Amino acid sequence: MFQRLSGWVSAAGVTSALVLGAVGSVSADETCVSPYSPKIVGQEDYVYVWTLGVEGMGDEQDKLVSIDANPDSPTYGKVLHSVSVGGRNEAHHSGYSDDRRYLWAGGLDTNKIFIFDVHTDPAKPSLFKVIDDFVAVSGGVVGPHSFYALPGRMMISALSNNADHGGRTALVEYSNEGDYVATHWMPTDDDLQGAEKTGQFADGYGYDVRFLPAKNLMVTSSFTGWSNYMMDFGKMLNDPEAMKRFGNTAAVWDLHARKPLKVFDVPGAPLEIRCAWGSNYCFTTTALTSKIWLIYEDKDQGWTAKEVGTIGDPSKVPLPVAFSISADDRFLWVNTFMDGSTRLFDVSDPFDAKLVDTFKIGSQVNMVSQSWDGERLYFTSSLLANWDKKGEDDQQFLKMYHWDGKQLSEGFTVDFYKEKLGRAHLITLNSRALYASKIAESSTPSGRVGALAAVSGTD
């Protein structure tokens, strides 16, 4: 297997160990956290859920909800706190800064970015700053989606633009202080920006962003623009023109130079990207064609992409959404929104993803995040306000499950509608121990630079 990867071994784990020496050894972190952010082993204390407000429910606003995740706490599995942000913004994804003291979260409709202080009182985050000029300063970028930390910087992948609300978009870079730095447009047929187009498409679409620091590489995927993600899901599925407006590409970039190197065909809207912790390859899954793809460095072809597994029958529209890679890079948990299930795949051979088992979570399911020790999984339900199911099937929850290596057993559930909180979307985990560590004490608002700046471009 690894001979096909030419024996290249990632230094990402080494980099993390150097950064985190004051905390201890690293087995894993929730899959959405950047390799430049501190990682913690052990029991998480809090789950934060970035939540969409619902008209007529509670205060109707988007909010960050804090839930007690420590089983030794008297309020285990209960809502501790919520902080509302004013209005409904199509709350979607969030991500920690490199020092993990701040959580950045975005709204796909209003394009506002909300920065929460999660270190002063981790049980009760507070709204620290709101960025409301994202479109103007970025040169017309719409739909801030993924927030992925570099030393002293935040890289934001977006979904759309304000010219035609289509899928052409960019990466937008900010400082940790929330100041705009640069816009990096996705390569297109009309402007490849020096990138090699390896297939039929260079559509300029975007969705997720991830880093392979040991290879000085940034990886991006593609989705669809504002005109689609704000449309009713059923209406969109029956609109032939709308169904043409989905991305079919992934790309690799020079991380330091922020320049695209290659564009690959990955048909069917490749969504999230998850990179191996111990090697230099990444997975993505396609929403419309229901496939698992591997992005890897071949000794002959260089960086390329290959289909390595089938999630479900695309004619039945299972709609793969979020997925999570295990600490040892052996397994993927892949959620399928329409049937409300999570599928476990064995990817110990990354070129041959094998289905192990399927578990029903609810009528719909979107996000999944694993605990640092791999013994707990968290699931939430909301995809997009206009894509969530209707009526009784519109369940909105956070569910925690224990994993013993064979079975999922439910630990606790928070019913977000019953609590009048709204639609539960993005999950992040936190721990009190982080902010008592020497790393947290020595971190500055600008983040850790020095040697890491050589690949981050923040020198």
Which pLDDT value is given to residue 32?
64
Domain that holds residue 380: 2-456
| Average pLDDT for 337-353 | 98
pLDDT higher than 60, residue 22? no
pLDDT at 24 over 60: no
pLDDT band for 438, please (50, 70, 90 cuts).
Answer: very low
Question: Of the ranges 34-43, 146-155, 188-197, 304-313, which one carries the lowest mean pLDDT score?
Answer: 34-43
* Residue 37: pLDDT over 90: no
- pTM here is 0.91
Place of tokens 């620290």: 128
Mean pLDDT of the chain: 89
Average pLDDT (299-323) is 96
Q: Does pLDDT of 418 surpass 60?
A: yes
Handedness of CA 296, 299, 302, 307 (dihedral sign): negative
Report the number of distinct structural domains present in the chain: 1
User: At 26, is the pLDDT very low, low, confident or very high (cuts 50, 70, 90)?
Assistant: very low
pLDDT at 434: 84
The domain that contains 368 carries what CATH number? 2.130.10.10
pLDDT at 10: 31
Which residue type is seen at 351? F
CA distance 116 to 139: 25
Residues 205, 270: Cα–Cα separation, whole Å: 10
Q: Per-residue pLDDT tens for 126-184?
A: 999 999 999 999 999 999 999 999 999 999 999 999 999 999 999 999 999 999 999 99
User: Which pLDDT score, from 0 to 100, does residue 400 have?
Assistant: 97
**% of the chain exceeding 70 in pLDDT:** 88
The one-letter amino acid code at 101 reads R
Residue 221: predicted pLDDT:
98
What are the residues facing 325 on neighbouring strands?
A: 332
